[in-house]
């Protein structure tokens, strides 16, 4: 019975089926809750490393905008988040392996584990930029690459080989673009740590490779996502915050391109292809900016017109991350290309990103406190 329930949860996750209004605040309740077991750990949201992604990039954006005390506070908070989330993930793997494997081999939820890659690399970038801690950042880069190889192999194997496959309107959503985000995060951190290697060209080649692969994957996946948006019904329950990654994936691709342009002194080949990098990177930035008003309209329709309650869920960190990333990416694009008037964008967006981070963080604290009062033994729920 337990195996059948886990299989059902993996093949038809809460995000892919119509939800009743009473279920919206807790979409992950399809998991069995063994007696005497902390329900929060067994149902730990596999994409919770988006908290590290969001906190790290908002910290970096704050640093670029001269908000140093905020940037430093978010840095040390992020180190804590990263350690705690790894501890919870490893505890879940050890104590609730069936639930962990069900998520990892789920067509809909497997991709969420790629937040571990992006969170690792964003934290590494944060350490380099704010502290100059290149040794730790190099280690995190190698960890990120290893996780990327493992988790992308698992995700594409599951999506390709596992049967039965869901229809397109249930099987794809904005979270699939975490494939792009995780790939580009390797490019960004690779550019930052490349000067610390005896041969920077090798690390920069890996970064350039990741930039190109991420760009290719975005073009392929966004075509499917747009097709799903325009030719299949969109309900308030399926139009989740993960769709903000439509823009966030473009923003981190922009940041990776800008970093490659700025890294040209360390590898002459980058100087040779600088016109290509500048044009392509500007193309991705413009496309990301195009997404913003559409995503805002979608959010107003979901919460304002369709009256979906604005209740905390870990997915909202996938909304905060793109706002911080667009801020940081625009700042670096202006620096790399000399388009100085673009600097006005991060001057405004940094406050939007900080506001969104604060709201989401307060919501997380209230959610954790509320669940702890209801189930004192469970502690951190992470649902």
Instruction: For residue 345, give Cα distances in angstroms to 43, 226, 248, 299, 357.
Output: 39, 26, 15, 21, 18
pLDDT average, residue stretch 291-319? 93
Cα radius of gyration rounded to whole Å, the chain: 20
pLDDT of residue 127: 96
**259-280 burial, b for 16+ CB within 10 Å, e for fewer?**
bbbebbebbeebeeeeeebbeb
Closest CA to 295 of 346, 243, 254: 243
**Which residues make Cβ contacts (< 8 Å) with residue 213, sequence separation at least 6?**
183
pLDDT of residue 275: 95
pLDDT band at 238 (very low <50, low <70, confident <90, very high): confident
Residue 28 lies in a domain: no
Q: How far apart are CA 15 and CA 138, in angstroms?
A: 36
Q: How far apart are CA 323 and CA 197, in angstroms?
A: 32
DSSP-assigned letter for residue 311? -
> Is 220's pLDDT higher than 70?
yes
- Alpha carbon dihedral 191, 196, 201, 205, in 10-degree steps, equals -40
pLDDT average, residue stretch 246-259? 97
Judge contact between 240 and 315, C-beta under 8 A: yes
- Percent of the chain, pLDDT > 90? 77
Residue 4 lies in a domain: no
Q: Dump pLDDT digits (tens) for 63-104.
A: 999 999 999 999 999 999 999 999 999 999 999 999 999 999
pLDDT of residue 242: 92
Residue 32 lies in a domain: no
> Is 14's pLDDT higher than 70?
no
**What is the domain count for the chain?**
1
Residue 6 lies in a domain: no
Tell me the pLDDT of the chain averaged across its residues. 88
Torsional sign, CA 29, 32, 38, 42: negative
pLDDT of residue 190: 97
- Count H helices, E strands: the chain? 15, 0
Residue 175 belongs to domain spanning? 39-374
Q: How far apart are CA 284 and CA 277, in angstroms?
A: 11
pLDDT band at 323 (very low <50, low <70, confident <90, very high): very high
pLDDT of residue 54: 97
Q: How far apart are CA 126 and CA 55, in angstroms?
A: 10
Q: How far apart are CA 285 and CA 248, in angstroms?
A: 10
* CATH code for the domain in which residue 69 is found: 1.50.10.150
Q: How far apart are CA 222 and CA 243, in angstroms?
A: 11
> Is 322's pLDDT higher than 70?
yes
Question: Is 20 exposed, middle or buried, given 0-12, 13-18 or 19+ CB atoms closer than 10 A?
Answer: exposed
Helices 50-64 & 317-337 angle (0-180, nearest 10) = 40
Cα 341 to its chain centre, rounded Å, is 28
pLDDT band at 124 (very low <50, low <70, confident <90, very high): very high
- Alpha carbon dihedral 128, 131, 134, 135, in 10-degree steps, equals -140
DSSP-assigned letter for residue 305? I
Judge contact between 159 and 170, C-beta under 8 A: no
pLDDT of residue 375: 62
Residue 8 lies in a domain: no
pLDDT average, residue stretch 200-225? 97
Q: How far apart are CA 16 and CA 112, in angstroms?
A: 14
> Is 5's pLDDT higher than 70?
no
> Is 377's pLDDT higher than 80?
no
> Is 353's pLDDT higher than 50?
yes
Instruction: For residue 141, give Cα distances in angstroms to 86, 182, 309.
Output: 16, 12, 39
- Residue count of the chain: 383
Q: Which residue has the tokens 């189930």?
A: 375
Residue 163 lies in a domain: yes
pLDDT of residue 139: 97
Residue 237 lies in a domain: yes
pLDDT of residue 341: 94
pTM assigned to the model = 0.87
- Percent of the chain, pLDDT > 70? 87
pLDDT average, residue stretch 171-200? 96
Q: Dump pLDDT digits (tens) for 287-303.
A: 999 999 999 999 999 99
């Amino acid at each position: 019975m337990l195996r059948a329930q886990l299989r059902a949860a993996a093949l038809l996750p809460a995000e892919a089926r119509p939800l009743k209004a009473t279920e919206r605040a807790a979409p992950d309740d399809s998991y069995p809750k063994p007696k005497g077991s902390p329900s929060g750990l067994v149902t730990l949201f596999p994409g919770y490393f988006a908290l590290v992604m969001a906190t790290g990039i908002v910290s970096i954006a704050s640093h670029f905008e001269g908000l140093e005390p905020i940037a430093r506070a978010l840095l040390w908070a992020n180190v804590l988040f990263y350690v705690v989330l790894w501890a919870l993930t490893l505890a879940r793997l050890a104590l609730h392996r069936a639930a962990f494997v069900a998520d990892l081999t789920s067509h809909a939820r497997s991709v969420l584990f790629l937040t571990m890659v992006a969170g690792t690399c964003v934290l590494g970038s944060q350490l380099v930029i704010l502290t100059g801690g290149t040794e730790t950042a190099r280690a995190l880069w190698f960890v990120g690459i290893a996780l990327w190889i493992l988790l992308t192999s698992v995700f594409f194997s599951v999506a390709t080989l596992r049967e039965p496959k869901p229809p397109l309107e249930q099987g794809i959503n904005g979270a699939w673009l975490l494939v792009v985000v995780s790939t580009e995060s390797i490019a960004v951190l690779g550019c930052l740590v490349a000067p610390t290697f005896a041969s920077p060209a090798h690390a920069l080649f890996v970064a350039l490779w990741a930039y190109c692969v991420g760009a290719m994957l975005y073009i392929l996946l966004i075509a499917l996502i747009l097709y799903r948006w325009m030719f299949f019904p969109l309900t308030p329950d399926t139009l989740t915050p993960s769709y903000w990654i439509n823009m966030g994936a473009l923003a981190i691709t922009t940041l990776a391109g800008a970093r490659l342009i700025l890294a040209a002194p360390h590898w002459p080949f980058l100087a040779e292809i600088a016109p290509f990098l500048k044009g392509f990177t500007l193309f991705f930035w413009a496309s990301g900016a195009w997404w913003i008003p559409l995503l805002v309209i979608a959010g107003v329709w979901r919460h304002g017109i369709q009256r979906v309650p604005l209740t905390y869920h870990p997915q909202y960190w996938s909304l905060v991350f793109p706002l911080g990333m667009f801020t940081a990416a625009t700042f670096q694009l202006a620096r790399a290309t000399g388009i100085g008037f673009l600097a006005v964008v991060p001057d405004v967006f940094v406050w939007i990103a900080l506001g969104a981070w604060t709201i989401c963080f307060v919501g997380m604290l209230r959610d954790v406190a509320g669940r702890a009062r209801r189930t004192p033994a469970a502690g951190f729920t992470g649902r």
